[in-house]
Structure 1
Amino acid sequence: MKNILLLETIHPSAMELLKEARDIRVFEAYSEKSVDEIFLEQTIDVIITRGKGQVTPEVLDACPSLQIIARCGVGLDNIAVEEASKRKIKVVNAPNSNAATIAEHTIALLLMLQRNLYHAISAVKNGDWGWRSVYAGDEINGKTLGILGLGNIGKKVANIAKALGMQVIYWSAHKENVPYDFLSFDEVLRQSDCITLHLPLTSETEHLINGTAFQKMKPNALLINTARGKIIDQAALLKALEEKQIAGFAADVLAMEPPEKNNPLVAHPNSLVTAHLGSLTSTTYRQMCVLTVNNVLGILRGTSYQENCVFNRGMLA
């Protein structure tokens, strides 16, 4: 019998897979207090989390029998991957599972911002049809989209943007075999009308978009972030909006989630923020959770699983 600890809720279809497994016991711990209580009473073989449940070195210390850490998602910045690898613990994720939905969300935010749709819709809901006389917006057709990070999500964003008539340029860790111009980081900032981030959060990318970066952007530039909040220096971003160094910002992520009440960045009239829900469409949320749970069960039982789901496979050889 294997014990699985859930740090967050997962899709009901994935939960059903765990409950139906006769060789699995599931413990739900959605607060630090409940986690600590379970650690005292049970030996944990697997931890499953999503984006908020933190798997720190201290958590690993409390689970000497831990075999697998699984994240129902793609990014792994809430997991101490390096420390887990040292302890021969497999780290499992759901690679590429959210690429389509995050690409869609990115383009949706871009359109909302470029066409000023949030304020336009709000005005009508408030009974102000006459707001059309002061409306200011533009189309994305003909604009230059700069993509920072051309992985699975970045490529899908590029394809959609091209279909909508945008010129696509990009900067990434490596030049890709794509029909888009690969430019330096600074040149992407300088040439883009719209900039979208699709990078992992690392020590190299944290605050990559800072005060210096904003100075290189066009004053009419729009910045979209559906990657990780800490890639942008939030104070520098607010300053850039207030001083009109850029024209607008839209995001599904912030450096602190949830933000403090009356956060000035969230409240800014040229800022649109959604509550980190880009992957929570019914299709993708289910897919991420079911894929992850099936891979965990496959690894535990020594049966089939998706090989590229094990993030640190090479480190365990």
Structure 2
Amino acid sequence: MKKSVLLLETIDDEALTILEEHVNVFTGYDDASLKNILENQDVHAVITRGKGQINKALMEAIPTLQVAARCGVGLDNVDVQEATARKIMVINAPGSNAATIAEHTLSLMLMLMRNMYESVAQVKQDNWNWRNQYSGDELNGKTLGILGMGNIGKRVAKLGEAFGMNILYWSRSSQDLPYTYLSMDEVLEQSDVVSLHLPFTKETGTLIKEEQLALMKPGALLVNTARGALIDHEALLNALNEQRISGFAADVLPEEPPVHGFPILHHSRSLITPHSGSLTASTYRQMCVLTVKNVVAVLTGEEPDNRSIFNFSEL
């Protein structure tokens, strides 16, 4: 008998086809349909992307649950501790977004450093004379400080190096890399651009607060394509307003979507994209297909890729 999978959000068409070939697929995109499925179906796996929450309440409502999966890398919307306690396997797609997030990070750096967004906007308003008041700089010769040297951090370092940047980094431990390992404070003090590439965990907490921002150079840029909660945004706004740092760019915010009028969105020295760094066609497909294949493997008695099985003890 085929097992059943509940989708909390839409997934790539190719991934959906793979699912439908092997299991029964149910969609719970809204409260009414989700309630109906939970009351009438035995569900063996739940798959989400970035919004649908696989929390304790959902797990309690599905006694047959074997797998909690996210088509993505971070697991903020999956209660991995609760899943581990219930012996529910947690699956994600580690490393699948490293290339695209690294590209997005460098795009934000370039746009912010060269004041490119404002230049394009002014030309679209027929203001060619903007060039007479333009101010910007280049990445070449600047120092890039990377906080967190995992898959994405390493890709960002390589791209930054290709642009002629000097690379410094801080991580939980030094690695065998051709870059300079320093304390976090030293990276903040010495970098022209600081880029965050860490998960948000109890261990990291809010990493960039008033005291960390105070260490940065007055002309420095801060870029965050990791997790919004890593930064104290009130302290960040103060630092921008007082010109203690020069600019901020991010693809993530502490609350998504942000509340109306969230100040950092409209600051003249900020560039915010709507958590779209992983939404390129290639990466979206790869994340969904990789996750789905591993879910199907578990439910059909095959061996999943161990790299996609999340181990809570590694946190």
Distance verdict in 2 for CA 1:56–1:124, change over 3 Å: same
Partner SS for 2:160: helix
- Look up the match of 1:284: 283
How far has the Cα of 1:36 moved from its partner? 2.5
Tell me by how many angstroms 1:20 deviates.
Answer: 2.4
CA shift for structure 1 position 244 = 1.0
Letter in 2 for 1:110: M
Identify the residue that residue 11 of structure 2 maps to in structure 1: 10
Counterparts of 2:174 and 2:301 in 1: how far apart (Å)?
37
In the alignment, residue 307 of structure 1 is paired with which amino acid? N
Name the SS for the 2:37 alignment partner.
helix
Say which SS state the counterpart of residue 47 (structure 1) adopts.
strand
Q: CA deviation at 1:77?
A: 1.3
- The Cα of 1:278 is off from its aligned counterpart by 0.5
| Cα shift readout 1:73-104 (whole Å, capped 9, x = no counterpart) | 11111111011011110000111000000000
SS of equivalent to 1:70: strand
1:90·1:313 contact (CA, 8 Å) conserved in 2? Answer: no
Q: 1:182-197 residue pairs with structure 2 within 5 A?
A: 182-197=181-196
Cα distance in 2 between the residues matched to 1:126 and 1:205 = 43
Residue 76 of structure 2 corresponds to residue 77 of structure 1: yes
Provide the secondary structure at the position in 1 that maps to 2:226.
Answer: coil
The answer to whether residue 225 in structure 2 is matched with residue 226 in structure 1 is: yes
Instruction: Specify the alignment match of 1:144 in structure 2.
Output: 143
How much is the aligned-residue C-alpha RMSD, in angstroms?
A: 1.2
**d(CA) in 2 for partners of 1:252 and 1:73?**
15
Count of residues in correspondence between the two structures? 313
Judge conservation of contact 2:72–2:287 (CA < 8 Å) in 1. Answer: yes
1:257-304 Cα distance to aligned partner (Å, 9 max, x none): 111222210000100000101011010000000011011111111224
What SS does the corresponding residue of 1:308 show, helix, strand or coil? helix
1:19-56 residue CA offsets vs partner (Å, 9 max, x unmatched): 222xx111111123432232122121100001111111
SS at match of 2:136: coil
CA drift of 1:313 comes to 8.2
- Of stretches 301-310 and 119-128 in structure 1, the one that deviates more from structure 2 is 301-310
1:75 partner letter: G
Is the 2:195–2:224 Cα contact (8 Å) retained in structure 1?
A: yes
Provide the C-alpha distance between the structure 2 equivalents of 1:9 and 1:241, rounded to a whole number of angstroms. 38
Task: For 1:124-273, list aligned pairs within 5 A.
Answer: 124-273=123-272
Contact 1:193 1:220 in 2 (8 A): yes
- In structure 2, how many angstroms separate the alpha carbons of the residues matched to 1:178 and 1:264? 38
Check whether the contact 2:80–2:312 (CA below 8 A) recurs between aligned residues. Answer: no
Q: One-letter code of the match for 1:275? A: P
1:100-123 deviation line (CA, Å, top 9, x unaligned): 000000000000000000000000
Deviates further, 179-188 or 303-312 = 303-312
Give the Cα–Cα distance (whole angstroms) in 2 for the partners of residues 33 and 210 of structure 1: 41
Instruction: Report the counterpart of residue 93 of structure 2 in structure 1.
Output: 94
The match for 1:112 is 111
* Other structure's SS at 2:222 match: strand
Distance 1:228 1:158 in 2: 19
| TM-score, with length taken from structure 2 | 0.97
Counterpart mapping for 1:34-49 below 5 A: 34-49=33-48
Moved more, 202-211 or 26-35: 26-35
CA displacement at 1:236 relative to structure 2: 1.0
Greater alpha carbon shift after TM alignment, 172-181 vs 305-314: 305-314
The residue identity in structure 2 corresponding to 1:254 is L
Which amino acid is the alignment partner of residue 209 of structure 1? Answer: I
Question: Cα offset for 1:314?
Answer: 7.0
Match in the other structure for 1:62 = 61
The residue type paired with residue 145 of structure 1 is L
Query: What SS does the aligned partner of 2:47 have?
Result: strand
The residue type paired with residue 30 of structure 1 is Y
Please give the TM-score of this superposition, normalised by the length of structure 1.
0.96
Q: Which deviates more from structure 2 when the two are superposed, residues 237-246 or residues 87-96? A: 237-246
Q: Any unmatched runs of 5+ in structure 2? A: none
Task: Give the Cα separation in 1 of the matches to 2:50 and 2:63.
Answer: 23
For the residue of structure 1 that corresponds to 2:64, the secondary structure is coil
> Cα offset for 1:179?
0.6
8 Å contact from structure 2 (residues 81, 312) kept in 1: no
Query: Does 284-293 or 306-315 show the bigger shift?
Result: 306-315
